[in-house]
Structure 1
């Protein structure tokens, strides 16, 4: 993605998702700012732009785009529609009714799978999903995310897979002048 398009996408995501107010964080702390990633995923035009920015990051030979519950699912679906690559959906844990599967949308056994995630900071959910995909017989070949918010270069501790972000925390900060 060219620098101007990258900057514009970061600015639009930041404008849609960064909220001001009083928010209780997962840590229990209260913040006057909150980044609501579902805001950019729920906007069809912005979601299409995010998917278009992520699609070229998918390595050649990938056979399935595996969206991680919950935020990776709409992005994987949009990418699948745009590229024609089949999608699968990875739950946080197997459901205990119906198919009782953790990976939905068809078998991934023996297929090269790229995990699709919205925002990654530490990668805990990605590690868990990689395990579930491996248990389903997939060959996981990498991770493509909309935003890397972690420290340093994109990598997930304990997971020897490449991580390709469309945007980083620095892109979002630059978009709002910080």
Structure 2
């Protein structure tokens, strides 16, 4: 399962880079659109493979939990990652504007950090929902307990991220040299 997750991550970036390269280097918009629309299919493959693996009697493992995390992060941050890569490709290969950088100081930075935490929370919720579906499909909550082992450490990370992200609301970063 770990190899499948790694393969899906490689597939995500390979399809993304191929789609953007075809768009900006070859100027083949239709083929680019097909490749870019295929990027979310990587998640579908991972989801389907995980379900098939679990339904076929494979012991539930933290690797299946990592698959759920991968899907949650992809849902919450995937569009943002694609936009990030697209801005850079357009700038580098098509004369597009310089990529927009996230604000680094002040209230705009605080708002950005709160938004990123909300995306993180969404990723967590989606992963928990996927684990819930896995549990229902297996039909044995005891057999799927190991799936859920990934959520406790992630909850701690989410809490730490909350404290850091929302601290900028209370004490915004100031520009250096002022």
Q: TM-score, normalised by structure 1?
A: 0.28
Q: Which structure carries more helix by proportion?
A: 2
Q: Which structure carries more strand by proportion?
A: 1
Whose Rg is larger? 2
Return the structure number with greater relative CO, CA threshold 8 A, min gap 6: 2
